Amino acid sequence: MARYCSEPKLIALTDSHAHLDVAAFDADRDAVIARARAAGVVRQVVPAITAPGWPGLAALCRHHEGLHAAYGLHPMALAEHREEHLTALPACLAEHGAVAVGECGLDFSVPGLDPAQQLRYFEAQLAIAREQRLPVILHARRALDAVIGLLRRSRLDRGGVVHSFSGSPEQALQLWDLGCCIGIGGPVTYPRAQRLRRLAANMPAEFLLLETDSPDQPDAERRGQRNEPARLRRVLAEIALLRGESEDRLAAITHANATRLFGLPGTIPGPA
């Protein structure tokens, strides 16, 4: 007896963190976006890293429906930042309809990244986010307590998301109390990531965002390869399995979380 397999149901997903503007996608960016759409990943939030990349990111998001830009200064690119970039950031956010300030934050894991300079740029971006009533997209590596403390003092209206969350349940609870989400991506698919997997299994769903961090942090099946937004379905499947929930339900919740946090349009774009 012949067996007929239908195509998997496409569930509308939002990749809350994908660096589609970087050089790793220059050769096939349109194809990457098309594969994401074919996999049901209908929206991507694309956070900037440095000021010279802002115009190209704005053009990319104008060209592709479903791409939504955030503008900021990444702590790991500290050597490239200048005071005038902070001065120019508010106008860039307003002119290009940014959905967030970021990627910004702190990284105390890399020797040579001056903590005092990082703090100066981060605090300035938090102030801009508060003034413009925008959420923040946060990088926090070996600096989560410091980031939480600054968030608490900044009193943001719109909260934000700590992407690629790798902290403790206690730190996650502090972020939720501040109205912040956490972003979880490929690392949750690795069996050794037991703390992250337990958190994903038990956390309140209203604070969960799905992400790929493309082109970085591929899932366990693509270890060592370039990541891309189409792989968000693998992240969804893993977290749904950990939680004992349907993929449809988890997709709907996380899609709604992204819509709420970033103020995204409710309509779903068509194929790329």
- pLDDT value, residue 265: 87
pLDDT tens digits for range 64-82? 999 999 999 999 999 999 9
pLDDT tens digits for range 111-143? 999 999 999 999 999 999 999 999 999 999 999
pLDDT, average across residues 149-169: 97
Over the chain, what HEC string results?
CCCCCCCCCCCCEEECCECCCCHHHCCCHHHHHHHHHHCCEEEEEEECCCHHHHHHHHHHHHHCCCEEEEECCCHHHHHHCCHHHHHHHHHHHHHCCCCEEEEEEEECCCCCCCHHHHHHHHHHHHHHHHHHCCCEEEEEECCHHHHHHHHHHHCCCCCEEECCCCCCHHHHHHHHHCCCEEEECHHHHCCCCHHHHHHHHHCCHHHEEECCCECCCCCHHHCCCCCCHHHHHHHHHHHHHHHCCCHHHHHHHHHHHHHHHHCCCCCCCCCC
Is the predicted pLDDT of residue 241 greater than 60, yes or no? yes
The confidence band for 2, taking pLDDT boundaries of 50, 70 and 90, is very low
- Dihedral through CA 190, CA 10, CA 7, CA 219, nearest 10? -10
- pLDDT value, residue 5: 37
- pLDDT value, residue 157: 93
- pLDDT value, residue 9: 62
The class level of CATH for 13-262 reads: alpha beta
C-alpha count within 13 angstroms, C-beta hemisphere, residue 4: 1
pLDDT, average across residues 4-11: 53
> Under a CB-based contact definition with an 8 Å cutoff, are residues 89 and 71 in contact?
yes
What is the Cα–Cα distance from 86 to 128, expressed in whole angstroms? 9
- pLDDT value, residue 11: 84
- pLDDT value, residue 8: 53
Is the predicted pLDDT of residue 1 greater than 50, yes or no? no
Is the predicted pLDDT of residue 53 greater than 70, yes or no? yes
Task: Spell out the domain ranges in the chain.
Answer: 13-262
